[in-house]
A = this chain, B = another copy of it.
Amino acid sequence: MAVTARGARTRAALVAAARTVFERDGFLASRLTDITAEASCSVGTFYTHFASKEEVFLAVMEAAQDDMLHPGMPHVEDGADPVAVIEASNRAYFDSYRRNARLMMLQEQVATIDDDFRRQRLERGETFVRRNAKGISRLQDAGLVDAHLDPLMTARALSGMVARLAYTTFALGLDLAVDDLVETSTRLWANALGLDAKPG
């Protein structure tokens, strides 16, 4: 696949076109002919590069991964204020979600349609959750967070809280200000973990 330079170019054009069309019309309503028209090539060509509509969707999501893989909760460096870290992390999440809002919607849509993709989506969420759980563990080790909390479940709940707020705002279209979202979720996250804001 895509061994020649021309092939690679065509494939890239198709992925870009697919993203445009998917974002505009949704996965279900998008037709292959719309995508190939957008990419200025024929349907036949599509099938030299992808086996199905699902496959090009996967390629679109993969190409968008980098930007969508926001920092989550970064490693807590010695001396850094944990609450500030959480805030930065949350803001990064909301910003990235907003930039990729249509794609995030698509992710949810396809997850409800395609079983394979549902599993992938679940795994992607859990990867993220595990990273956050590690952060929480570290805070527990540092004595900053109640040791009774199960890091994994806690991470799942708190990440889910933020993810749902972003979904409601950017996918479902509830008009909320990002600053408010960041403030509320950070404060609740900190409270839930029992963290105090950095003392002066």
B-binding residues in A (CB < 8 A): 26, 28, 105, 108-109, 111-113, 118, 121-122, 125-126, 146, 149-150, 153-154, 156-158, 160-161, 163-165, 168, 172-174, 176, 180-181, 184-185, 187-189, 191-194
Task: For A184, give its contact among B111, B154, B180, B194 (CB under 8 Å).
Answer: B154
On whether the beta carbons of B122 and A112 are closer than 8 Å, the reply is no
Name 22 A/B residue pairs within 8 A (Cβ), A-sorted: A108-B108, A109-B112, A109-B113, A122-B168, A122-B173, A125-B172, A126-B174, A146-B191, A149-B184, A150-B180, A153-B180, A154-B188, A156-B168, A157-B165, A157-B184, A158-B188, A160-B160, A160-B164, A161-B161, A189-B192, A191-B191, A191-B192
Query: Which of chain B's residues have a CB closer than 8 A to the CB of A189?
Result: 192
Question: In the complex, A77 Cα to B112 Cα: how many Å?
Answer: 40
CB-defined contacts of A172 to chain B, threshold 8 Å? 111, 118, 121-122, 125
Q: Once the chains bind, are B187 and A149 in contact (CB under 8 Å)?
A: yes
Report chain B residues within 8 Å CB of A192. 188-189, 191-192
Bound-state Cα–Cα, A189 to B188, Å: 9
- Quick one: closest B residue to A166, CB to CB? B160
- Docked Cα-Cα span, A156 to B112, in Å, equals 23
- Given known pairs A126-B174, A168-B125, the reply for A157 and B26 (CB within 8 Å) is no
- The chain B residue sitting closest to A150, CB to CB, is B184
- By a CB distance below 8 angstroms, the chain B residues around A156 are 165, 168, 176, 184
User: Do A157 and B174 have beta carbons less than 8 Å apart?
Assistant: no
Report the nearest B residue to A153, measured CB to CB. Answer: B184
Task: Name the B residues within 8 Å of A121 (CB-CB).
Answer: 172
